[in-house]
Amino acid sequence: ATPMAVLTSTGRGAELGLFIKGARALESTRAVDTVLFDKTGTLTEGRMHVSAVVPVDGVPAEELLRLAASVEQGSEHPIGAGIVAAASSTADVDDFTALPGRGVTGTVDGRCVAVGTARMLADTAVELPAELVRRGAALEATCATVVGVVADDRLLGLVALTDEPRPSAPTAISTLRAIGLVPRMLTGDNLRTAVAVAARVGLDPATEVTADASPEDKVAAVRALQAAGHTVALVGDGINDAAALAAADLGIAVGRGTDAAIDAADIVLGRDDLTAVAAAVELARRTHRTIR
Ligand code: ADP
Ligand code: MG
């Protein structure tokens, strides 16, 4: 690449709200044929609001939210901010631990509290009553993300959070298809929620969604596509995406994402506009023609 063509392109990129980290990023962008999107905070706004609290019998909803929010205070995940905003009070937390793609744990009022996915809860001694499983599944089918709250190995209930798709997501996906790329969702959230969101942004829920992916699973998904001969871009925002952003041929971080994602990425989207992904590919293709 001639320095001048690259400079012009990175300048044009800046106008599109793209921060492109160097000439190699442009080269990878040109070759991309598959674009994997994280869900929470990437295809969606990442502004989660509590839409339902489902306590088990005898637990006040306020107490459920207070314990959950006390632990979530330390979280960088949109789920944490949503739960903290919904609680009217919080207590101090000790021994806070974030388990990316799974949840958070900590000690509150001397009790060991965990908030996270059904899979994380399955690893604890906790049993989920059938009625709660049914209500959780019904909430997930409406696009909500459902987390369980456990204190001292006892399930206190579920919290459902909703998050709107970004307005630019459907156009971003249809534009990628129009220029010959394959878009997909790669999320740590559960399949029911993932499928419901996929349908709203124009992804095929049957063939273009991979859910329940841990941070390691996201890396494995990138590598599997690469092994099949694809050049893969991953668009993400979270700590849970950082390793996969680095593994991808092209890592694209959402500008308001976590520092870990921004550091690992080759391109940062300065605006919340996902159509910039297709614009970056078109820009890179044009830059290549200029250079040739
Ligand atoms: P995504 O890939 O959609 O951004 P993540 O990998 O960040 O999702 O998270 C996957 C799942 O892990 C979430 O849907 C949630 O169930 C759980 N999780 C992650 N962080 C938290 C948290 N701070 N509190 C509760 N649950 C969490
Ligand atoms: Mg995310």
For residue 80, the CA-to-ligand 2 centroid distance in Å is 12
Number of domains in the chain: 2
User: Last residue of some domain: 162, 197, 220?
Assistant: 162
Please report the pLDDT score of residue 118 as a whole number.
80
Overall average pLDDT of the 193-213 stretch? 96
Residue 76 falls inside a structural domain: yes
- Of 15-19, 65-69, 97-101, 169-173, which gets the smallest average pLDDT? 15-19
Asked whether residue 72 falls in the same domain as residue 211, the answer is no
Asked whether residue 144 falls in the same domain as residue 181, the answer is no
First to last CA, the chain: 8
Pocket of ligand 1 (CB under 6 A): 38-41, 72, 75, 77, 79-80, 101-104, 115-117, 145, 147, 187-189, 238, 240
Average pLDDT, the chain: 91
Overall average pLDDT of the 97-122 stretch? 91
Asked whether residue 22 falls in the same domain as residue 55, the answer is no
**Other Cβ atoms within 10 Å of 173 Cβ, number:** 26
Please report the pLDDT score of residue 3 as a whole number.
58
Q: Which listed residue (33, 38, 92, 241) is catalytic?
A: 38
Asked whether residue 171 falls in the same domain as residue 287, the answer is yes
For ligand 1, atom 4, the nearest C-alpha belongs to 40
Q: Which amino acid is at 86?
A: A
Q: Choose the residue to mutate in 105, 115, 189 for probing ligand 1, maximizing ligand atoms within 8 Å of C-beta.
A: 189
The domain in which residue 106 lies consists of 49-162
Query: Confidence class of residue 202 from pLDDT cuts 50, 70 and 90?
Result: very high
Overall average pLDDT of the 191-215 stretch? 96
Specify the 3-state DSSP secondary structure of 244: helix
Asked whether residue 184 falls in the same domain as residue 285, the answer is yes
Residue 239 falls inside a structural domain: yes
> Which pTM does this prediction carry?
0.87
Asked whether residue 28 falls in the same domain as residue 59, the answer is no
Residue 91 falls inside a structural domain: yes
Residue 148 falls inside a structural domain: yes
For 163-197, how does the pLDDT look when each residue is reduced to its tens digit (9 = 90+)?
999 999 999 999 999 999 999 999 999 999 999 99
Which CATH number do you get for residue 144?
A: 3.40.1110.10
Asked whether residue 150 falls in the same domain as residue 104, the answer is yes
Query: Confidence class of residue 126 from pLDDT cuts 50, 70 and 90?
Result: confident
Which whole-number Å values give the CA distances from 110 to 92, 94, 96, 176, in the listed order? 10, 9, 13, 51
38 is catalytic: yes
Which CATH number do you get for residue 192?
A: 3.40.50.1000
| Complex confidence, ipTM | 0.96
Asked whether residue 196 falls in the same domain as residue 98, the answer is no
